[in-house]
Structure 1
């Protein structure tokens, strides 16, 4: 083995954008970045990539919290993260796959299950309720114009209330938006997420 030290890697850019240094963050934006740092131990590259548009940073966070963190949600945190991971895997959004896989590993304590969901949730041994939610999230992602009343009937049959269906639709729709922003800008995944909870 060589005794030479590896050269120190230079930090990766957070996206393909070449906007230069963002403007000084407002108190509201800085509070959001501080909350993210406190919660995750790092700031998401997806947030850093859009700092030149503070209203977008704040608006995206508000919708994210409304869809995924409502304490009155009829879905469990595990179910919300399952939907996020299924949508993000289908869209091949690296930052979101890394992030939601990490969150689901934290919740389940089962990295193999989470990897199986990320690759093909159909083979992951999900419960009927989880599988039906995953199927619904996938259809919202792939073919939203083909959703019919029967799709909601399948969710009801699996034990979901109409409020749970509303929550599932909101989570899937939000992550389709988030995935598209990240992919359109070439946002790089946070390596910290890839390594978390393994």
Structure 2
């Protein structure tokens, strides 16, 4: 019987002590806040410059204030990651969505079929556009912008929806190629 812990990634995971100081410090802050280190931090740490760029853009998209709530930003990640069959992002961002939305059901609903989820018409329009960007960005046109405007989204919001869907499309692909494993802790977060 194999008692070794499951592999986090197909790629080598550097020891925390061998990581650059800024990356180690960032991981330690996350560990202190969450109580564990999300595997994405470990999986990307073998490429320090890419780690820094990835998390800088992630934070710029996901942690700012604006026309989208932080829960809505997570909805975009969960819906598009489900379409891209990214287990890591659905599980990890599903946990964050449950916490930010204060709703233990929403992440599962959005991941499986957002069109049947308990969300607003505005959020459904947002996710329709995010899915279009994730799966058929070449079809985006003026009618899509007009539809979003009817739901109260301005051009800054449209950019944010598109940028989140596009960024996580890249993230989903890296997570799938690397077989990045979601931390067990994510599965129960926000459910109680």
Could you state the TM-score of these two structures normalised by the residue count of structure 1?
0.89
Q: Which residue of 2 aligns with 1:148?
A: 141
In structure 2, runs of 5+ residues without a counterpart are none
Structure 2 CA distance for partners of 1:8 and 1:172, relative to 1, 3 Å: same
Q: Once the two structures are superposed, what CA deviation does each residue of 1:5-52 show, in whole Å capped at 9, x if it has no partner?
A: xx89432111122x3645811111112212221232222212211222
Structure 1 partner of 2:27? 33
- In 1: Cα distance, 2:5 partner to 2:188 partner: 17
Q: Kindly indicate whether the alpha-carbon contact (under 8 Å) linking 2:14 and 2:45 is maintained by their aligned counterparts in 1.
A: no
Match of 1:163 among 156, 162, 165: 156
- The structure whose Rg is larger is 1
Q: Is the 8 A contact 2:8 2:39 kept in 1?
A: yes
Equivalence for 1:57: 51
2:100 is the counterpart of 1:107 = yes
| Pairs within 5 Å for 1:1-198 | 9-17=3-11, 19=12, 21-22=14-15, 24-71=18-65, 73-198=66-191
Taking only aligned residues, the RMSD between alpha carbons, in angstroms, comes to 1.8
Q: What TM-score results when the alignment is normalised by the length of structure 2?
A: 0.92
Distance in 1 of aligned mates of 2:117 and 2:13: 43
Gaps of 5+ in 1: 1-6
Once the two structures are superposed, residues 87-136 of structure 1 have per-residue CA deviations (whole angstroms, 9 ceiling, x without a partner) of 11111111111111111111223222321111100001321110011001
